[in-house]
Amino acid sequence: MMKDHPFSSLIRLNIGGKKFCTTIDTLTQREPDSMLAAMFSGRHTVSEDPDKGYVFIDRDGKHFRHILNWLRDGVVPTLTDAEYSELMREAVYYQLLGLVEGINSVLTRRREGDELEAELTRADIIKCLQYQKVKFRGVNFSGLDLSKLDLSYVDFSYASLKNVFFSRANLQCAKFRDVDAEGSIFHNATLRECEFAGANLRGALLAGANLKSANLQDACLVDCSFCGADLSSAHLQVQHLLIFEVTEFHICTCFLFTLLIDHTN
C-alpha cells in the first residue's frame, strides 16, 4: 500500500544536476529487477534533500529522460549510434535489461539495413564501363538508377538488383544469371540476347523492352509486366508464369516449354 511506502507517489530525482519528476509506479513496474525499482521498493533507505525533497543520483542526466520514457512507454528512442552507446551505459548502470535488449535490437536492424545499401554508385559504374569485359558478379546494386546507360555485355550474374532502374538502358547480351531483380524497372530497355536463366524477376516492369532471343529459362516471372515487349525468339522454359499487363507483346517464334500462363489483365 502507498501509505506504507517511505515515499509519496511523486518522486523527485536529481540526476547529476538535472531534475526530473516521476512516480513510484514508473520506476518500479516495467523493470522490477532494475536498480531504480530496488531503490524505490521500500526495501532500502534512500536519502532525500531535506529542503526540496530530491533524491540525488550521481550520474550524467543527459539521457535520463529517455530512461523515464522507456519506463513509461517501453519505446526505444531514435538516436545516433554514439548516443545509443551513451544510453546503453546508463541502461547497464541502472540494470534496465529490457532497455539494453531494445537498444541492441535497434542497432542490429540498423547494421542489417546498412548492409543492404548498394555497394556502388551510378558514378562508380560509369567509371567501370570504360573498361572491357566488365563484371559485377554478386555485387549489391539495390535501388540504383542505371537508366540510359550502355551496359551491353556486362556480367551481373548473382548480383542483387532489387528495385534497380534500368529504363532505356542498353543491356544487349548482358548476363543476369541467378540475379535477384525483384521489382526492377526495365521499361523500354534493350535486352536482346540477355541471359536471365534462374533470375528472380518477380514484379519487374519489362514493358516495351526488347527481349529478342533473350534466355529466360527457369526465371521467376510472377507479376511481371510485358506490355508492348518484344519476346521474339525468346526462350521461356519456365513452370509458372503469372504475367500482368500482357497487352500487345510480341512472341513470334518464342519458345514456350512447360509454360503455365495466367492472363490476369
Tell me the three state secondary structure of residue 19.
Answer: strand
The domain 2-115 having CATH identifier 3.30.710.10: the answer here is yes
Question: What is the helix (H) or strand (E) element at residue 57, kind and residue range?
Answer: strand 54-57
The pLDDT tens digits of the residues spanning 93-110 come to 999 999 999 998 888 777
Which residue type does 250 have?
H
- The single residue listed with the C-alpha cell 516495351 is 208
Report percent pLDDT > 90 for the chain: 46
DSSP bridge partners of 261? 241
Q: Does the pLDDT of residue 32 top 70, yes or no? A: yes
The pLDDT tens digits of the residues spanning 242-260 come to 444 444 444 444 444 333 3
Q: Does the pLDDT of residue 200 top 50, yes or no? A: yes
Query: Residue 77 has what pLDDT?
Result: 93
Mean pLDDT for 17-21 is 94
Quick one: cell of 231?
519476346
What is the domain class of 118-265 according to CATH? mainly beta
- Domain residue spans in the chain? 2-115, 118-265
Helices (H), 1-47: 24-28, 35-39
- pTM summary value: 0.51
Closest CA to 160 of 199, 188, 127, 134: 199
Query: Residue 64 has what pLDDT?
Result: 96
Q: Does the pLDDT of residue 111 top 90, yes or no? A: no
Q: Do 231 and 251 touch, CB atoms closer than 8 A?
A: yes
Question: What is the helix (H) or strand (E) element at residue 147, kind and residue range?
Answer: none
For the chain, what's the residue count?
265
Quick one: cell of 250?
510480341
Query: In terms of DSSP bridges, do strands 10-15 and 54-57 run parallel, antiparallel, or are they unpaired?
Result: parallel
> Which of 30-44, 47-61, 185-199, 216-230 is the most confident on average?
185-199
Q: Does the pLDDT of residue 210 top 50, yes or no? A: yes
